[in-house]
A and B are shown apart, each in its own frame.
Chain A
Amino acid sequence: MTGLSDFWKVFKRNKMGLTGLGIIIFFFLMAVLAPFISPYNPNQTNPNLFLSPPSSQHLFGTNEIGQDLFSRNLYGAQISLEVGFAAAAVTVIVGLLIGLISGYFGGIVDEILMRVTDFFLVIPSIVFMIIISAFLGPSLINVILVIGLLSWSPTARVVRSMVLSIREWPFVEAARASNAGHFYIMFRHIMPNVIPIVFANATMAISNAIFSQAALVFLGVGDVNDISWGQIMHFALYSGAISAGDWWYIVPPGIFIILLILGFILLGYSLEEIFNPRLRRV
């Protein structure tokens, strides 16, 4: 990997990755362009049009207070992507550091960190998220931190197990024989070798964060004033629109969530293939 152009040369032959990237770019554009392409102000109500089915005026129909669902779905992409990336960043950084330190130093440090990891691994995280979010109150940054700080344990586990094997490789001993310190070995020698796995985990973490955020908002925890796909689904349920069979209310945000998650998974697999030279098809 000498540069971006080399990376692109390899990446553009990867159909799976391109599909994933295409989906992500699609939603990214949707989020950025939402203010310009929305036909209506997403908060503008129309008392004459409650729960109207899709029409040429309202592509995705309207909700129970007559807001344009197409516009609201466009805006919804913003929150999902923000939370997805920010929470995944927290997850990956915490998981990577804990996995590296735990695996590299071993012994009592490893014992303590892994028991903490086990704790986070076994608690049902969505339940824990609901409880903590309820305490912290519904702000976007709280949702990001709660999701990020409760999701790092699988990453830490995977990183640790890789570090356990990598630290025994002769190139680590060679570095030690040349006066390399612990942190140099950890970050220069071991970390680059776990990055592919971390990338795979990062995409999982993004999908997980997007899903968790939607789930939290759907359940009514988190900020129901921010327009997000989870919030649209939340109101679809609580307004009784779903039981009434108003499918246009809940189907589009559901499909968007699934598609966006799929995009990250496809991209993740292809990145792993590219960043790990041994998997690359030359």
Chain B
Amino acid sequence: MNIVEAEGVKKYFPVKGSILRREKRFIKALDGVSLSIEKGEIYSIVGETGSGKTTLGRILIGLITPTEGSVKIDNIDIFSIGKSEMREIRKRVQIIFQDPYGSLNPRMRIRDIVSEPLKLNRMEYSTEKIARVMEDVGLKPASDFMDRYPHQLSGGQRQRVAIARALAISPEFIVADEPVSMLDVSIRANFLNMMREMNKKYNVSMLMITHDISVASYIGRRISVLYLGKVVEQGENDDIIKNPLHPYTRALMEAIATLGKKEKELHIKGEIPNPMDIPKGCRFHPRCPYAMDICREVEPDLVEISNKHSVACHLYRG
């Protein structure tokens, strides 16, 4: 059973042209992404800045409307339903943001922050209920934190508050947009373990958005690698990590900091191109060390290579 099913999701942001140039230009943040997340699963999305991963997360919980494509949450197409039905969907999904400083209102007490989704959704709330969620995410004892303000907490504690807020309404699906990238490296693993516990305890599916493939592999059961708004590789965690196929995924794997000398290094050139000018053919070809003639002309489709392991690269054709 899938909790989320996204089909061919595209999002083009229009760019205001000058008076002289009337043609409309677009930033193609997402250019046809499909994925499905099973109930109870943690799914990871990896991508650089500008890959469209944040936009995808927003679309999956209905905060942004896609230009094309559909998103189903528990088989309900969330962009073809009315406002009141959307309100019902919002009671079942939540989001955690990257910035633990900006995601909590500095003028609200922790108890008000955590109980807010319950109040807004007219769900029953009590101090005990809020305290239970807070202790679950590691804010123990909850009474020590209840009446504090966000600025009195550390970055890690704030991010736990953000998770407690997301879990308070017992959602079925949480989008976690780079939840650990602003935390100290020393507490990241701890934090990810806590998220994994919550995933089990609350039986909530999660989408982990990250730019760090080691985070993705640590927590995700399945992984999608996003590049310039398209999935370039998709599959089970083990397959992706042990046998990365796409040159971009391999480069990401090489980029993981390891002690000692690396045996082989794969460098990719330059930076991610401007999403207003997506390269013709394979969108990765200008940076790809294996680029062939065909890569400059034809865009590769996402093809299943082995069991549930798909890649969009001409190197693996037929």
Residues of chain A contacted by B61 (CB below 8 angstroms)? 177
Residue from A170, A176, A179, A277 within 8 A of B97 (CB atoms): A170
Tell me whether A278 is interfacial, beta carbon within 8 Å.
Answer: yes
Is A178 in contact with B103, judged by CB distance below 8 angstroms?
no
Does A161 lie at the interface of the complex (its beta carbon under 8 Å from any beta carbon of B)? no
A192 and B107: CB pair below 8 A? yes
Contact flags A169-189 to B (C-beta < 8 A → 1, else 0):
111011111111000100001
- The answer to whether residues A179 and B107 also contact, given A170-B99, A174-B95, A278-B151 and a CB cut-off of 8 A, is no
Given the known interface contacts A169-B102, A189-B105, A277-B151, the answer about A177 and B94 at a Cβ–Cβ threshold of 8 Å is: yes
Decide if A179 touches B147 in the complex (CB within 8 Å): no
Q: Are B117 and A178 in contact (CB under 8 A)?
A: yes
A277 x B120 contact (CB < 8 A)? no
Whether B72 sits at the interface, judged by CB under 8 Å, is no
Scoring A170, A176, A193 by chain B CB atoms within 10 A of each residue's CB, the highest score goes to A170
**Is A2's CB within 8 Å of the partner chain B?**
yes
Q: Which residue of B lies closest to A177 (CB)?
A: B95
- Determine if B90 is an interface residue (Cβ-Cβ < 8 Å): yes
Could you tell me if B120 and A174 are in contact, using CB atoms closer than 8 angstroms? no
Within the complex, which residue of B90, B149, B151 is in contact with A179, where a contact is CB–CB below 8 Å?
B90
Cβ-defined contact, B63 with A177, below 8 A: yes
Query: Hey, which chain B residues are within 8 Å of A173, CB to CB?
Result: 63, 95, 97
A180 to B169: give the CA distance in the assembly, Å. 14
Does B212 reach chain A (CB closer than 8 Å)? Answer: no
Known interface pairs A178-B117, A179-B91, A179-B120; A277-B107 also in contact (CB < 8 Å) = yes
B98 proximity list for chain A (CB < 8 A): 170
Count of chain B residues with Cβ under 8 Å from any Cβ of A? 28
User: Is chain B's binding surface mostly helix, strand, loop or mixed?
Assistant: loop
For B103, the closest partner residue in chain A by CB is: A170
- How many whole Å from A152's CB to the nearest CB in chain B? 23
Q: Interface size (A, Cβ < 8 Å)?
A: 18
A278 to B149, CA, bound (A): 10
B71 interface hit (Cβ, 8 Å):
no
Confirm or deny: B201 has a beta carbon within 8 angstroms of a beta carbon on chain A: no
Q: Which of A256-278 contact B (CB under 8 A)?
A: 277-278
A191's closest neighbor in chain B, by CB? B107
* Partner of B120 from A170, A184, A193, A278 at Cβ < 8 Å: A184
Is B102 a contact of A171 with CB atoms below 8 Å?
A: yes
Q: Is the CB of A193 within 8 A of B95?
A: no
Given contacts A177-B61, A277-B149, whether A193 and B97 have CB atoms under 8 Å apart is: no
CB contacts (< 8 Å) of B87 on chain A: these are 179
Question: A237 CB to closest chain B CB, in angstroms?
Answer: 48
Point out the residue from A2, A171, A277 that lies within 8 Å of B104, measured CB to CB. Answer: A171
- A277–B162 Cα distance when bound, in Å, is 20
Give the nearest-CB partner of A2 in chain B. B147
Contact B63–A193 (Cβ < 8 Å): no
Interface residues of A in 1-60 (CB under 8 A from B): 2
Q: How far, in whole Å, are A122 and B197 apart by their CA atoms in the complex? A: 60
- Add 19 more A-B contacts to A174-B165, A177-B61, A179-B121 (CB < 8 A): A169-B102, A170-B98, A170-B99, A170-B103, A171-B103, A173-B97, A174-B95, A174-B97, A175-B116, A175-B120, A177-B63, A177-B90, A178-B90, A179-B87, A179-B90, A180-B120, A184-B120, A192-B107, A277-B149
The 7 closest A-B pairs by CB, nearest first: A178-B117, A170-B103, A170-B97, A192-B107, A171-B105, A170-B102, A178-B120
A-B contact pairs, 27 of them (CB 8 A): A170-B97, A170-B99, A171-B102, A171-B105, A173-B63, A173-B97, A175-B116, A175-B120, A176-B63, A177-B61, A177-B90, A177-B95, A178-B94, A178-B121, A178-B169, A179-B90, A179-B91, A179-B121, A180-B116, A189-B105, A192-B105, A193-B105, A193-B107, A277-B106, A277-B107, A277-B149, A278-B151
Mark A residues whose CB is within 8 Å of B. 2, 169-171, 173-180, 184, 189, 192-193, 277-278
